[in-house]
Structure 1
Amino acid sequence: MANQINPALMSQFASARTSRRRFIGGSAAAAAGLALGGSFLAACGSSSTPSPTSSSAAAPDDGKPASGSLRISNWPLYMADGFVAAFQKASGLTVDYKEDYNDNEEWFAKNKDPLSRKQDIGADLVVPTQFMALRLKGLGWLNEISDTRVPNKKNLRPDLLNDASDPGRKFTAPYMTGMVGLAYNKAATKRPITKIDDLWDPAFKGKVSLLSDMQDGLGMIMQSQGNSVSEPTMDGVQKAVDLVKEQKDKGQIRRFTGNDYADDLAAGNIVVAQAYSGDVVQLQADNPDLQFVIPESGGDWFIDTQVIPYTTQNQHAAEAWIDYVYDRANYAKLVAFTQYVPVLSDMTDELNKIDPKLGSNPLINVSDADKAKLHTWAALTDEQTQQFNTAYASVTGS
């Protein structure tokens, strides 16, 4: 059962999985852009914001149930024990499940040429982070997901279903989300942390860490300055960068991190850190003094998504998988394993059936009030990605 997973394995999952996703989603993309220049940007397509109409509509539905085999490419340690076997039994499909999606840019570099030629990439369903999914959509390399074949799409959280980047989730089906906010050691701070300005308290000099990922590092700072991540501008990014540089020069910031702030935070070397909610769930098991908070001015969501490449060999099987995942009872098993925030609404009852601690954990079963304080970055153009990441890298040194 998912609720019997070894806690040590769960902790290993949270650490390894998060560092890969968040590192490659930001500063590494900038490094690739800087290193490859125009050829990188050309490979990524137009610098215009991806259009919901850019990708491929699915072939007419013949009405027949899904059959045959399904090839899934997912991140390592992102699947509950027994989940694939249960789907195979319920659907009659055969699943070739691979944990070979190790980072977004690496995957794109490997698959962009065959995708551009509409050649099979060996996967019918892939799980990229949303920024990569939107890039694929903009290039026209995704098939539309049938509403008829995925009736459980109605179970998605309204904020995700209605996201402006893909209204109605026609091409990108959210898989897991997590919060980006502040973690602190209350035994060390000796007071609650509630806002971005708390990071700059002289009492915490040299004991603050920021995330090296541009979106996660700057997003909450931009919001504290009255700027939007859903409509980001270079001026807004630069204003946040300037503040970070000022605090770095003062010695306030100990270092910039992936999710490797965890040990320093637990040890007290860092007392306040920009952090991911999934990490803190794990850390609290050993140190109840560690707290996670969304700054008063707002934090960010990260989103991993399920997509169907337009080279899929079994569209209906991929849709059957997404529909199965979006059944609340099934999805609760995934949440129990990953410890991330559900993409489905009204999950309390199903989480409680597995473990009441899941349903009552505010870092997993997030309140509506906290959800309202979390925002998602807009789909960035390639030009914005390079400009924003370059500006932040000038301070972080990444």
Structure 2
Amino acid sequence: MPEPAFSRRTTLRGIGAAGLLAALTGCGVPAAYVAENRRGGPDRSDRERTLNFSNWPLYIDIDDKDEERRPTLEAFTERTGVEVRYSEEINDNDEFFGKVSPALMNHQDTGHDIVVVSDWMAARFVHLGWAQTLDRARQPNVAAHLDPQLRAPAFDRGRLHTVPWQSGITGIAYNRKALGREIKSVRDLWHPDLAGKVTLFSGLDESFALLMQGNGVDVTRWTESDFHRMCDQVESMVKKRHIRRFTGNDYTSDLSKGDVLACQAYSGDAIQLKADNPDIEFVVPEEGAELWAESMLVPNLARHKANAEALIDHYYAPEVAAELAAAVNYVCPVPAAREVLARSEDKETAALAENPLIFPDEQMRARLAVARDISSAERRSLAARWNAIVGL
């Protein structure tokens, strides 16, 4: 698994992005909203056998002997004749949104045919009408194999505009040996023996769902009162210096060095952390944990929509999904890939099929929920409240 150098679910910095979205949406009516019949454009897929695919760094399979080669992309080109121009230009959800939003606001092509963003950011594209509707007739693998638990997020019912690239779980990682006990609940983070040894994610969208779940909230339909109750609790812990700090993906360093004993964590990181230190455990709390995704979408006026739809469907063939899952170790959005990995002659690869952080079992799935996204009307005030606590 590639070493996680930063969070792929990057934090909101201040309320700059919220302010931009508010400016776009006005009084709840998107000023830059693009109607369904204006989202397409002349599709050049038939005569231009190419497409532009933008993703996060370290988020795809690479050849062991040549890091410039990406076997699953090469397989797609060999099968279809479509050349993929692959770039790792997405380092921050808000930064990328700021980069492409001027073109989208002005109904111009962004130069991207597929982009991968966190679902909370994908929600903005969908709400603004900036993501094209995908033709499921061109995507039989997606229709057949997409994880049922990821099929109907609140922001995109039916996944008509987005398709998960990879998924993951926000839970709790801790050093069981150093702590001397198990952590089973979000409430366990507030135990006195963890004073000054806990970190939480600084990003609003990354952190809020798990903390609400600790209070017994159904995060598929949380309310602002649920949010403020959670903030009151976290603010109290900050003032008591119980929470050491708020982090991005640098939490992995804190936990590895022993500066913290427990923290909010991502399941994909936990696999690497445990490989490096067997005393590190990852837990899906008794109250539940957030199941999230980072999704592919086709921006408005993309020039190669049909090619993009074909590539998205390529990654939902179980054999291809298995190859990608083995490389990146996040929750695979194609459960059928589990059987492919289980048949591998390589013991380490076959063992991945039994890893519940890549293929959650039914017991774990029962505790996972896809959180309702923060609406544009809510974002400014909620981000201000949360960022004030982070800055204490």
The TM-score with structure 1 as length reference comes to 0.88
Residue type at the aligned position of 2:384: T
Residue type at the aligned position of 2:28: S
Does the 8 A contact of 2:153 with 2:372 survive in 1? no
Select which of 5, 15, 23 maps to 1:31.
Answer: 15
Counterpart for residue 366 of structure 2: 372
> Quick one: distance in 1 between partners of 2:29 and 2:217?
21
Q: Taking structure 1 as reference, are residues 74 and 45 closer, same or farther at Cα in structure 2, changes over 3 Å only?
A: farther
Q: CA deviation at 1:150?
A: 0.4
Q: Taking structure 1 as reference, are residues 93 and 42 closer, same or farther at Cα in structure 2, changes over 3 Å only?
A: same
> Quick one: distance in 2 between partners of 1:388 and 1:130?
18
- Map residues 80-229 of structure 1 onto 2, 5 A cutoff: 80-81=61-62, 82-153=71-142, 154-229=144-219
Does the 8 A contact of 2:40 with 2:302 survive in 1? no
Select which of 369, 377, 396 maps to 2:390.
Answer: 396
Task: State the Cα RMSD in Å.
Answer: 2.5
Once superposed, which parts of structure 1, at least 4 consecutive aligned residues long, lie more than 3 Å away? 44-49, 53-62, 64-67
Q: Taking structure 1 as reference, are residues 279 and 55 closer, same or farther at Cα in structure 2, changes over 3 Å only?
A: farther
Deviations along 1:117-150, one digit per CA (max 9) or x if unpaired, are 2212111111111122121112122211111100
Q: CA deviation at 1:59?
A: 6.6
- Map residues 1-398 of structure 1 onto 2, 5 A cutoff: 10-11=2-3, 14-16=4-6, 19=7, 21-24=8-11, 27-28=12-13, 30-33=14-17, 37=19, 40-43=21-24, 47=28, 55=36, 68-81=49-62, 82-153=71-142, 154-352=144-342, 353=344, 355-397=349-391
> Quick one: distance in 2 between partners of 1:186 and 1:57?
55
Higher helix fraction (1 or 2): 1
Q: CA deviation at 1:65?
A: 7.3
Q: CA deviation at 1:47?
A: 3.2
Residue type at the aligned position of 1:156: L
Does the 8 A contact of 1:71 with 1:95 survive in 2? yes
Aligned to 1:332, the other structure's residue is in SS state helix
Does the 8 A contact of 2:289 with 2:367 survive in 1? yes
> Quick one: distance in 1 between partners of 2:27 and 2:330?
33
Deviates more, 1:323-332 or 1:253-262: 253-262
Query: Gapped runs of 5+ residues in structure 2?
Result: 63-70
Identity of aligned residues (%): 34
Deviates more, 1:93-102 or 1:218-227: 218-227
Aligned to 2:378, the other structure's residue is in SS state helix
> Quick one: distance in 1 between partners of 2:151 and 2:180?
40
Residue type at the aligned position of 1:100: E
Aligned to 2:74, the other structure's residue is in SS state helix
Q: Taking structure 1 as reference, are residues 284 and 44 closer, same or farther at Cα in structure 2, changes over 3 Å only?
A: farther
Aligned to 2:336, the other structure's residue is in SS state coil
Does the 8 A contact of 2:174 with 2:280 survive in 1? yes
Q: CA deviation at 1:163?
A: 3.0
> Quick one: distance in 2 between partners of 1:341 and 1:57?
35
Q: Taking structure 1 as reference, are residues 238 and 128 closer, same or farther at Cα in structure 2, changes over 3 Å only?
A: same
The TM-score with structure 2 as length reference comes to 0.89
Query: Gapped runs of 5+ residues in structure 1?
Result: 1-6
Aligned to 2:138, the other structure's residue is in SS state coil
Residue type at the aligned position of 1:131: W
Does the 8 A contact of 1:183 with 1:274 survive in 2? yes
